[in-house]
Amino acid sequence: QVQLVESGGGLVQSGGSLRLSCAASGTNFSGSVMGWSRQAPGKERELVANITSGGSTTYADSVKGRFFISRDNAKNTVYLQMNSLEPEDTAVYYCNLRNRYWNRWGQGTQVTVSS
């Protein structure tokens, strides 16, 4: 079974930073598209960032210039560096793995930004 283990969430003040990590196992990580999405209470899940197997990145307009996605294939891990956090960023953040065999999400990690 594919497993995605997330870490790094927590409570921060407005303007602060967090780095989320997601370690994958059970499938071909280097050949997978990895991403992060988030869901705030009462809202639909929103794609935040993606990174392809070749390293190309995409971001939601709401986080461009503040959030940065990266991957370390040797560690089977994807990261989301979040800077200049705002209360509007408060949500549960989910790691996503997609390849020819799987399309899976992690359990989610809570990020809360206080004003």
pLDDT tens across 52-104, in order?
999 999 999 999 999 999 999 999 999 999 999 999 999 999 999 999 999 99
Pairing of strands 10-13, 109-114: parallel
Q: Which tens digits make up the pLDDT trace of 45-54?
A: 999 999 999 9
Q: Which candidate, 43, 48, 49, 18, places its Cα nearest to that of 112?
A: 18
Residue 10's pLDDT is 97
Given a cut of 90, is residue 1 above it in pLDDT? Answer: no
Dig out the tokens for 57 from the structure: 């990145």
Nearest-angstrom CA–CA distance, 54 and 24: 17
Q: What is the 3-state secondary structure (H, E, C) of 88-113?
A: HHCEEEEEEEECCCCEEECCCEEEEE
